[in-house]
């Protein structure tokens, strides 16, 4: 291990523990003070690590933490992006320890121990690796590139204020590459680099039947029950081959060549383990595609939540007035959230029987992104991981979304490198989220190598 990292191991971990104690839940207004406090915490740590011009910059939402170290304007500039906000922890009763009281425990995949807390992997743990890697480079005097930090507080709610922020601060944010650790590797002995992210269209539907809740005996059988109707409509969105039935939904979907799909499927993947880990008898997804393909190059539709009627204790006989669902669609290259919202809304209205009224409200979205592998930006990541893991990382597309990636390319023409260090099994967005100590330290060690190789490669291509 890097000597400075080795010597400061415990402190690096203790600082992360402090960061994880602040419940920076961007989705819940109740936690607003904590979100601001987290921004201040990150800013203070950037100053302590040696960054200049550190600032908690306001937006129309939560602030962006900025900091930089410009060592030579002629050297390449790496913009580090991460997020300090986290997902809500619920269902809280399914956590083995409180989500904002970090504990370290061993697991099968993390025999060295993992830190359990909301945000441990997504993204506080991964973002903080960059702060500590920067400190390491400052202390060892090995910084080879200019660095800028842009750490936001609204990623988990769609980053909707980030595009105006970037446009308003274009000069300040000017860079050659965006470096992001907010994704996963295949396994701790199988490093990989994420080369694609899916987009997202998220919406809420409301079905209204009668103007008030009714006695299900007196009226039942004669009045459309919005929950029954909504369930039926949702059922019609996916057919028996697990294809999405929305007309035109697949029209823009990028067709991937047979060769590329074959290559994709060579990545190590153990279906048995996958099923065992999730305690399912069988996977389920679009006909004609493998699990790896279903979770990367194909679009999806999922109900994230559904509610209405009586859900309290015991039985209450009621025919409810309203039913609701939150529905998300993951998008792949060439699909856009705007068009998908439109297609969905038209179709959903057509699916509704005359006995109910439909309201569809779009939430945030995100555009899909792919990153090339034949660039100095990607190669530097590959060389850095190869050196720290002793194995060449495998490029692979991921199923998640990070809205800034496509946005940054559209606005500034700058590509991102998705050098994440988490595992898919780290339970991000779920109870008992955790992040391996091995992964945390490996990240802190690998990031300075990225700086080294990126400066090298850029000086050769300049
Ligand atoms: N870090 C995740 C995205 C991710 C996770 C990408 C794992 C690849 C592998 C990010 O914080 C996230 O959760 N994004 C949201 C999108 C956002 C618009 C709410 C998502 O993917 O649901
Ligand atoms: Mn994240
Ligand atoms: Mn997330």
Per the domain annotation, does 76 fall within a domain?
yes
Looking only at the bridges linking them, the beta strands covering 52-57 and 114-116 are unpaired
Share of the chain above pLDDT 70, in %: 100
Reply yes or no on whether the pLDDT at 1 is more than 90: no
Nearest CA to ligand 1 atom 18: 158
Closest CA to 241 of 279, 286, 205: 286
Reply yes or no on whether the pLDDT at 364 is more than 90: no
85 is catalytic: yes
* Number of the ligand 1 atom closest to the C-alpha atom of 122: 1
Whole-prediction pTM: 0.94
Q: How confident is the model at residue 462 (pLDDT cuts 50, 70, 90)?
A: low
As a whole number, the mean pLDDT across the chain is 97
**Cα(289)–Cα(302) distance, integer angstroms:** 17
Q: Same domain for 110 and 193?
A: yes
Query: Among 316, 351, 366, which residue terminates a domain?
Result: 366
Looking only at the bridges linking them, the beta strands covering 77-83 and 146-152 are parallel
Cβ of residue 125 lying under 6 Å from some atom of ligand 1: no
Q: What is the pLDDT of residues 410-456, one digit of tens each?
A: 999 999 999 999 999 999 999 999 999 999 999 999 999 999 999 99
Per the domain annotation, does 127 fall within a domain?
yes
Q: Same domain for 228 and 323?
A: yes
Looking only at the bridges linking them, the beta strands covering 300-308 and 52-57 are unpaired
CA-based torsion, 117, 123, 129, 132: positive or negative: negative
Element (H, E) at 16: helix 9-20
Q: What is the pLDDT of residues 96-116, one digit of tens each?
A: 999 999 999 999 999 999 999
CA–CA distance from 361 to each of 202, 203, 212, 326 (Å)?
A: 9, 6, 22, 10
* Number of the ligand 1 atom closest to the C-alpha atom of 424: 7
Per the domain annotation, does 55 fall within a domain?
yes
Q: Same domain for 29 and 88?
A: yes
Query: Among 366, 394, 420, which residue terminates a domain?
Result: 366
Q: What is the pLDDT of residues 26-76, one digit of tens each?
A: 999 999 999 999 999 999 999 999 999 999 999 999 999 999 999 999 999
Cβ of residue 426 lying under 6 Å from some atom of ligand 1: no
Which of these is catalytic: 135, 152, 155, 156?
A: 155
Q: Same domain for 133 and 240?
A: no
């Amino acid at each position: 291990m890097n000597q400075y990292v080795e010597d400061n191991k415990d402190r690096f971990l203790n600082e992360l523990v402090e960061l994880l104690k602040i419940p920076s839940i961007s989705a819940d207004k109740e936690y607003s003070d904590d979100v601001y406090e987290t921004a201040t915490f990150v800013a203070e740590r950037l100053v302590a690590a040696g960054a200049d011009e550190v600032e908690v910059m306001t937006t129309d939402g939560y602030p962006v933490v900025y900091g930089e170290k410009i060592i030579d304007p002629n050297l390449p500039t790496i913009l580090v992006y991460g997020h300090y906000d986290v997902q809500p922890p619920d269902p809280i009763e399914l956590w083995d320890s409180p989500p904002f009281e970090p504990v370290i425990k061993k697991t099968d995949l993390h025999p060295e121990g993992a830190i359990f807390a909301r945000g441990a992997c997504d993204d506080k743990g991964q973002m903080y690796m960059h702060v500590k890697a920067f400190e390491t480079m400052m202390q060892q005097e090995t910084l080879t590139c200019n660095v800028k930090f842009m750490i936001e507080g609204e990623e988990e709610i769609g980053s909707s204020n980030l595009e105006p922020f970037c446009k308003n601060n274009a000069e300040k944010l000017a860079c050659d590459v965006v470096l992001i650790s907010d994704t996963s590797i295949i396994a701790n002995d199988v490093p990989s680099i994420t080369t694609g992210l899916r987009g997202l269209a998220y919406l809420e539907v409301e079905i209204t039947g009668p103007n008030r809740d009714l006695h299900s005996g007196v009226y039942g059988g004669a009045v459309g029950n919005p929950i029954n109707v909504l369930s039926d409509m949702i059922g019609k969105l996916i057919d028996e081959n697990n294809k999405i039935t929305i007309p035109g939904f697949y029209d823009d979907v990028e067709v991937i060549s047979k060769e590329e799909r074959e290559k994709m499927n060579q990545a190590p993947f153990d279906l048995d383990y996958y099923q065992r880990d999730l305690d399912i008898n069988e996977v389920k997804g679009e006909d004609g595609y493998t699990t790896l393909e279903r979770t990367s190059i194909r679009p999806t539709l999922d109900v994230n939540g559904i509610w209405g009627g009586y859900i309290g204790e015991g039985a209450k006989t009621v025919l409810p007035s309203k039913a609701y669902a939150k529905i998300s669609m993951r998008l792949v290259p060439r699909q856009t959230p705007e068009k998908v919202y439109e297609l969905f809304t038209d179709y959903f209205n057509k699916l509704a029987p005359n006995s109910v009224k439909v309201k569809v409200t779009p939430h945030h979205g995100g555009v899909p992104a792919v990153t090339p592998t034949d660039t100095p930006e990607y190669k530097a990541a590959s060389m850095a991981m190869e050196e720290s893991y002793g194995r060449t990382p495998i490029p692979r597309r991921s199923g998640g979304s990070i809205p800034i990636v496509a946005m940054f390319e559209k606005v500034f023409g700058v590509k991102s490198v998705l050098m994440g260090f988490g595992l898919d099994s780290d339970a991000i967005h779920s109870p008992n989220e955790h992040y391996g100590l091995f992964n945390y330290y490996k990240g802190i060690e690998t990031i300075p190598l990225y700086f080294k190789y990126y400066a090298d490669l850029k000086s050769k291509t300049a």
